[in-house]
Structure 1
Amino acid sequence: MHSLPEWTDLRFFLELARAGTLSGASRRLDVEHTTVARRIDRLEQQLGTTLFDRSREGYELTEMGQTLLPHAEAMEGAALAATEQLGGAEVAAAGVVRLGVPEVFGTRVVAPLLVKLFEDHPDLSIDLLALPRFANLANREADLGVMLDPPSTGRYMVTRLASFRFYLYAAPTYLAKHPPIRTHADLERHDFVDYVQDRLASRELSYLNELGFTPRRRLCCSGMTAQIEAASLGMGLMMAPPYAVPDDGRLVPVLPGFYAERSFWLAAPTDLYRLRRVKVVWDLLRDLADNNPKLWWHNGDMGKAA
């Protein structure tokens, strides 16, 4: 290697590593895909090594590419931090933050919080990725994310956001037309609404397996929004955390003593966590989780949760 690589070439390397295809990286960088290919070829020639394995499916990092990745990410983080500080953003958060959250949590809980956040930080913008899956932080789909499975490898800041419980709910119209539910054994005679089992975003969402019998799933959906609507229309019982259940009476608790407990985790790449704009959103979610127990537990369970 005769000279240090240019930072712009490393940006192309990072985006191709995250996107996995020339077309994906070119969209992220707003350039032609041929430009991406040319810059990667130049970087590999300059470093004297192959950074990507090419195939018809796309680009995959080689062992040397994996070695370069954390160094390039550290440089990216330093560049972002320097830009913030030089722009005075260390005092007032500014810029765009991409926040990945589960769909119902994002819609019912996070979105309303943004009104006050924007009042306090008028130069801050949020891309709220309210998804029926969990945002991929490894390819920088989001700057930070709420998830059931925290990253186990890589450079991340991770904290347990909240422990919560999935409870059983049903529509009053469903309960009026079906046998009464007085004990756990009565559940075997009822229909359920659940996730599509081979499309689960996390194994943590297989909570109906904790019933102790194979439930009769009459309708399976890819997301919880559709499940809530189906259960509200009387198609079967469903399990959901308190924050997800509308307060309009369309769903009521069933057999409150049964629940499945899970935890939400909050994670961000270490280099992005240091940015003022990301830290502001991180602190907002932490404050939400710590001071709103009714989102996570039924009233009678709050003392037990402590």
Structure 2
Amino acid sequence: MNTLPEWTDLRFFLELARAGTLSGASRRLEVEHTTVARRIDRLETQLGTTLFDRSREGYELTEVGAALLPHAEAMEGAALAAAEHVGGGEVAAQGVVRLGVPEVFGVKVVAPLLARMLQTHPDLSIDLLALPSFANLANREADLGVMLDPPSTGRYMVTRLASFRFYLYASPAYLARHPPIRSIADLAGHHFVDYVQDRLASRELSYLNELGFTPRRRMCCSGMMAQVEATASGLGLMMAPPYAVADEPRLVRVLDDFSAERSYWLAAPTDLYRLQRVRAVWNLLREHADGHPELFMHMS
């Protein structure tokens, strides 16, 4: 190899590695898919090796391509940090941050929090991905994310955002029509609203299994917002954290002595964590979670 590869070619390499298809990479890069293919061919020719295995399903990294990936990501992080520094990033956070969060947590907690933050950061913009699943940080779907399962491999900054509990709730109308609930054993005769079991975003969401019996799931939904509405309509009982039902007058808590505890984790690729705009959002989430434990657990 007589010359070093161009950074722009490595950027094409990164986006194709993350998207897995020419069409996906071309959308990310806002170019034609033929341009992506041409730049990858040029990079492979320059390096004298094959970086991707091609198939009908798409592009998959070869062993050499996988070895190149962390180096290209480090270059990307350095380029982003340099651009932020030159643009005055050390004075004020600026640019776009893409944040992935669970759907209800994003709607109830994070969106209002970010709205207040943006009022004091005129050069900052947020792409909030409030999803029924969890953002995929490996393919850079988001710059940072809140999740139940932290990354176990790769280069990430990870911290526990908060421990929280799922409690039982029902509508007063449902409780009036059904036998009283005085203990966990009484729950066996009741209906439940839950997640669609073969579409769980995480095994951590199978908290109804902790009841000790197979619940009678009357309705299953892909997201918790739909579960809240179904439960408020009197269909059955559900489990939810306090923030999901805050200011929801149609639901009351059932069995104060039963709950299921989980943890939210905050994670970001190490190279993106170095950017001030990402750290600004990171720190905001940490401070808010630390200062508002009532969002996550009922306080005695």
TM-score by length of 1: 0.97
Aligned to 2:152: 152
Q: After TM superposition, list the pairs within 5 Å mapping 1:1-306 onto structure 2.
A: 1-300=1-300
The alignment yields a C-alpha RMSD, in angstroms, of: 0.6
Local SS of the residue matching 2:37: helix
Distance 1:185 1:297 in 2: 24
Q: Distance in 2 between matches of 1:199 and 1:169?
A: 22
Matched residue type, 2:98: R
Runs of 4+ in 1 over 2 A off after TM superposition: none
Give 1:169 shift. Answer: 0.3
SS of 2:166's equivalent in the other structure is strand
**What per-residue deviation string (whole Å, max 9, x for no partner) do you get for residues 193-239 of structure 1?**
00000000000000000000000000000010100100010111000
Q: Distance in 2 between matches of 1:12 and 1:115?
A: 33
Amino acid at match of 1:238: M
SS of residue matched to 2:24: helix
Look up the SS of the partner of 2:266 in the other structure: strand
Q: CA deviation at 1:115?
A: 2.5
Residue type at the aligned position of 2:47: L
The CA deviation at 1:9 is: 0.2
Which of 217-226 and 246-255 deviates more? 246-255
Query: Separation in 2 of the partners of 1:247 and 1:35?
Result: 52
Give ranges in structure 2 of 5+ residues lacking alignment. Answer: none
Give the superposition deviation at 1:248: 3.2
Higher mean displacement: 144-153 or 106-115: 106-115
**Stretch of structure 1 that moved more, 77-86 or 247-256:** 247-256
Residue 89 of structure 1 aligns to a residue whose secondary structure is coil
In structure 2, C-alpha distance between the alignment counterparts of 1:77 and 1:248, rounded to whole Å: 43
The one-character-per-residue Cα deviations of 1:138-174 (angstroms, maximum 9, x if unpaired) are 0000000000000000000000000000000001110
Once the two structures are superposed, residues 14-60 of structure 1 have per-residue CA deviations (whole angstroms, 9 ceiling, x without a partner) of: 00000000000000000000000000011011111111111101001
Shift of 1:2: 1.7
Deviation at 1:116, TM superposition (A): 2.2
Structure 1 gap segments, 5+ residues each:
301-306
CA distance in 2, matches of 1:135, 1:12: 22
3-state SS in 2 of match to 1:10 = helix
Q: 2:115, 2:168 → 1: CA distance?
A: 32
Structure 2 distance, partners of 1:81, 1:242, is 38
* CA deviation vs aligned residue, 1:65-115 (integer Å, no higher than 9, x gap): 100000000000000000000011111000100000000000000011123
Q: What secondary structure is seen at the aligned counterpart in 2 of 1:256?
A: strand
Letter in 2 for 1:206: S
User: TM (normalized to structure 2)?
Assistant: 0.99
Q: What per-residue deviation string (whole Å, max 9, x for no partner) do you get for residues 173-203 of structure 1?
A: 1001000000110000000000000000000
Report the counterpart of residue 304 of structure 1 in structure 2: none
One-letter identity of the residue aligned with 2:262: R
State the Cα distance separating 1:249 from its structure 2 match.
Answer: 1.5
